[in-house]
């Protein structure tokens, strides 16, 4: 159980979130001309953003402050621009990297504490 909980963030990032961000970053001009592809990619980025916000909240980053500073919200009915996709994917990548760094730092701190406690006993 503890292993599953400990690996939740890295697994979610590598198996679900990271592929969507990479796909958005690799957007080609040909794909940018496909309205259905662009709408699908935008929806996927919205879902990724929601997952990242939940991860930020779970790790107490204050996702409302992070989301407010991005300022690049897109309504479902808006026409999706390639520049919005690229900007949003870079923003989400930076937020995800920050979560991963903080998560790894906290895991390292927990391991260091448990090792220190174990050596004292």
Burial of 56 (0-12, 13-18, 19+ CB in 10 A): buried
* pLDDT single digits (tens) 36-47: 999 999 999 999
* pLDDT single digits (tens) 2-33: 444 555 666 777 788 999 999 999 999 999 99
Please tell me the distance from the alpha carbon of residue 19 to that of residue 2, in angstroms, as a whole number.
26
- For the chain, the average pLDDT equals 78
The whole domain housing 105 covers: 2-120
Question: Which residue in this structure is represented by tokens 């690996």?
Answer: 7
Question: Which residue in this structure is represented by tokens 């990724």?
Answer: 48
Question: Which residue in this structure is represented by tokens 């174990």?
Answer: 118
As for how many domains the chain has, the answer is 1
* pLDDT single digits (tens) 54-73: 888 887 755 444 444 454 55
């Amino acid at each position: 159980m503890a292993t599953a909980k400990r690996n939740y963030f890295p697994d979610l990032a590598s198996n679900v979130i990271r592929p969507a961000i990479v796909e958005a970053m690799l957007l080609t001009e040909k794909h940018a001309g496909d309205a259905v592809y662009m709408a699908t990619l935008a929806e996927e980025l919205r879902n990724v953003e929601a997952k990242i916000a939940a991860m930020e909240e779970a790790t107490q980053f204050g996702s409302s402050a992070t989301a407010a500073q991005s300022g690049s919200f897109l309504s479902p009915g808006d026409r999706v621009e390639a520049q919005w996709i690229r900007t949003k994917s870079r923003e989400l990548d930076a937020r995800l990297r920050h979560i991963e760094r903080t998560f790894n730092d906290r895991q390292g701190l927990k391991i260091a504490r448990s090792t220190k406690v174990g050596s004292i006993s």
